[in-house]
Structure 1
Amino acid sequence: MESLSVIRKFYKKVGRNTRCGSRTGQPAAERTAGNVRHGFLKHRFLSFTGYNLPNRDKSEAEFFRSVKNLCDLYGLTEPDVSGLPFPENISAAHAELSEKLQEARGFGCYIMEDEKRRASLTTAKRYDTGYNLYYIPVRPMARIGEKPELKPLYNMMAMLLAYLLQVTKVSYYRDYGYVSSCYESIEEWINEEEGGDDGYHGAQIAELAEMKSFGDSFLHVLKKPFHKADFERAIAAYRKSACCEARPLEVAMEFQKLINDYPKRSLYDSIPAGYYGFNEFGVIDADQYLSFYWGGSDELNEVFFDMVNNDLQESGEQVEPVSLQWFDKPQEAEKHRFDFEPRLFPLLIELNNYLYEYDYAKKHH
């Protein structure tokens, strides 16, 4: 198909590079990442060479307390850096311990500060998102909304998606972001084409118009303040409705449990600022693999995923949630546990798989 080959002329216009990954129940899927722009955690990773500390003695003492605490937990010998001046002593001790931890446990350590700590060793482990795209299709909501008998389903799903937008901070394709920039590039290219007599070009134009008009109107729906009680009432109304089915009800109820346990939790709460540094091959940002997108027919969807796949496949690293353990105080055990993420991402896959049926099925209910 011509559009799939021609698209390669402009896919690099998309804002940030990323890397390909496997598919997650979607028409196509690759992984994505980029520089962390969301500083939800007020932590900083320090580089001590030449670093101007406001209280050197206090910071140096704190650091070496954390050295002892880390070595006590993992049974490591404390580095002997007594012959080195500040800050070389800290840099050398950190480098040695990080190498030992990497060999023994598969992860290193960092020098970090936050509102309470000035210079503490901290270990970090990453949650594996599977290098997948978690793209939530919006067009199915247009199809569901066309059927008055599915109004209870529409209301329940709209509130669920509002939670993902407002609380989990999933990017939306009609707001500024990576997916938005992809669609803008596609629209620019399509508008520059002369079109053909097979109707393919016209179908793309029509789909772009619907993508924008419904996407903008639905965004207003999603931005209405989310309240857990309203979502619970919507689930109850759907359960009593004639259109109730087990599958969407189960998905909604699992999200309800997640919201009860983590009412204000965002994915970005587990992505510390400064953890992901420069990578010469590019970094896949969270908004590049977790986002709402239009979905839609082959006329537009194939072009979209061809662009995304080409753009993301060269990146060297993906921004993923990170679990931190501070050693400013003695630690009795390793505490790298993920709780929110192992529940969120599988639920997103279940949600997407259900919505895709409305995106592609010719007959809904």
Structure 2
Amino acid sequence: MNYATQHHIGNYQHTRTETTTAIAPTVGRVCQLDAKTKGCKPSAERQAEIRTNSNATNGILKCTFLPKLKTAKSVQACQKTARDFHKSLSKLAEHHSIEPMQTQDFEFPYNIVLSMWDMETKVKRTNINWEGFKLIQDSKKTYFTSEERYNTGTTLYYIPVVPLFQILKDQKRKKTAQLLLSVCSYLYHIAQIPYYRQEESYLYWLYEMMNDWVEQDEETAETETNKRELRNAEYIGDKVEQKLFNLINLKVFEKRLNRFKSVDTFDSECWKIARNAFALYTEYPSENIFRNATLPEKDPYDNDENEIIGMEKYISFIADTKGWLYESLSDTINNEFNEYGAMEEPTISKQFDGSEIPTANLDFENRLFDLLNDLSGLLYEYKTIEK
């Protein structure tokens, strides 16, 4: 007779793990808490006693027990993320003199999302160059990085020198011409605006290309006119550059500005432009337009090396912004720019990770681009409003 030990095997039920509702990461990586697993719970109901065979004692080995998930590490990680976040947010708010919204009554991660929305909205109101910010989470900490950018749009900041040359020839505009020479000398020497007669400039080679095309055309009255326009562009460009190169224009800039007497609207506009240029020269005596030139982030999977429009291509002195030559140049430039995917623009990036925060801003660029726009517009309209 087999007197094997009797076992009372209860109703074993495989308990389903409690699931949590997943929250889509809105900012960086949002820590998600793990669900606690319910253990195997024996049934209160007892089965009728039965005799099993000798292999029944191994039945327990066939049961699968779910591991108990550790939640402490996840909770600590989220707590550290929240602490780092608020510390960095406080630095960002202090830097921009903004009072952040109080979000402590909201649970994680909603407090983070709400805080970022609030900060984005408020900074945009006070900083015209605000491009946005990112929440970065590396292996050590979580912090903000911000970006400020001067948006140049699709503007070509080309300053024509032919009208300036004409003003220099006008005896009635002698003082006006001298004042404009000081302005353009500042742009040439200090702001470092490219000059189209310099071989390293973008426009120099476009003018050379135009010259080659005209030389290859059949001789007609039109081609002769085009050749003359090209020769004038070279001659006038060289003459004006000689005058701009003279540093005396900078030394007497303030004197010319203070002694200038406006006699008409054109003179008044010239004086305003000169005043703004001299203010920049005084406040930023050694800053140039490329000081914050930054290339946009490049797609690592894009092998096209010529996809960025450099600032030197859309900022320059030019012969003229009227006539056949300029129209031909514009067509060539537009066709080329249409092949590019992004533009290089003045940009400032800052990290709020506990390190020293730079005080740099785009005030210089804001005012300088306005100056270029006003000056090129004034010179373009010179013949129209000439007295």
1:211 is aligned to 2:230 = no
Displacement after TM superposition at 1:313 (Å):
1.6
Distance 2:209 2:350 in 1: 42
2:336 aligned to 311, 326, 343, which one?
Answer: 311
Write the letter of the residue equivalent to 2:255: R
Instruction: Specify the alignment match of 1:159 in structure 2.
Output: 182
For 2:380 and 2:317, how far apart are their aligned partners in 1? 13
Cα distance change on mapping 1:355 and 1:215 into 2, 3 Å: same
Q: Deviations over 1:50-75 (max 9, x none)?
A: xxxxxxxxxxxxxxxxxx87762138
CA RMSD, Structure 1 to Structure 2 (Å): 3.7
- Matched with 2:104 is none
Q: Does 1:178 align with 2:178?
A: no
Runs of 4+ in structure 1 off by over 6 angstroms are 68-71, 240-244
- Rounded to whole Å, the distance in 2 between the matches of 1:336 and 1:221 is 34
Equivalent residue number for residue 124 of structure 1: 147
1:286/1:336 Cα in 2 relative to 1: closer, same or farther (>3 Å)? same
**Among 132, 147, 150, the residue aligned to 2:170:** 147
In the alignment, structure 1 residue 225 sits paired with structure 2 residue 240? no
Corresponding residue of 1:73? 88
Q: Is the 8 A contact 1:149 1:243 kept in 2?
A: no
Matched, 1:329 2:344: no
Offset of 1:354 from its aligned partner? 0.6
Which residue matches 2:269?
A: 247
Residue identity in the other structure for 1:324: S
Structure 1 unaligned spans of 5+: 1-67, 76-100, 112-119
Aligned position for 1:288:
313
1:259 to partner: Cα distance: 1.8
| Structure 2 residue 145 is matched with structure 1 residue 135 | no
1:263, CA displacement in angstroms? 1.6
Gaps of at least 5 residues in structure 2 are 1-82, 91-115, 121-131, 138-142
Q: Which whole-Å CA distance do the structure 2 matches of 1:205 and 1:131 have between them?
A: 30
In structure 2, the residue corresponding to 1:309 is in which secondary structure?
Answer: helix
Q: Tell me the equivalent position of 1:352.
A: 376
Q: Is the partner of 1:266 in helix, strand or coil?
A: coil
Measured at CA, do residues 130 and 193 of structure 1 come closer, stay the same or move farther in structure 2, by a change above 3 Å? same
Q: 1:17 — aligned with what? A: none
Work out the CA distance in 1 between the residues paired with 2:150 and 2:158: 18
Write the distance in 2 (CA, Å) between the matches of 1:168 and 1:71.
40
Q: Report how far residue 300 of structure 1 moved.
A: 1.5
Summarize the Cα distance change of 1:339–1:296 in structure 2 as closer, same or farther, 3 Å threshold: closer
Cα separation, 2, equivalents of 1:110 and 1:201: 59
C-alpha change, 1:110 and 1:353, in structure 2 (3 Å) is farther
The AA in structure 2 aligned to 1:133 is L
Q: Give the paired residue count.
A: 264
TM-score scaled by length of structure 2? 0.59
1:133–1:244 CA distance, 2 compared to 1 (3 A): closer
The aligned counterpart of 2:22 is none
> 2:347, 2:136 → 1: CA distance?
13
TM-score by length of 1: 0.63
1:305 CA drift (Å): 1.0
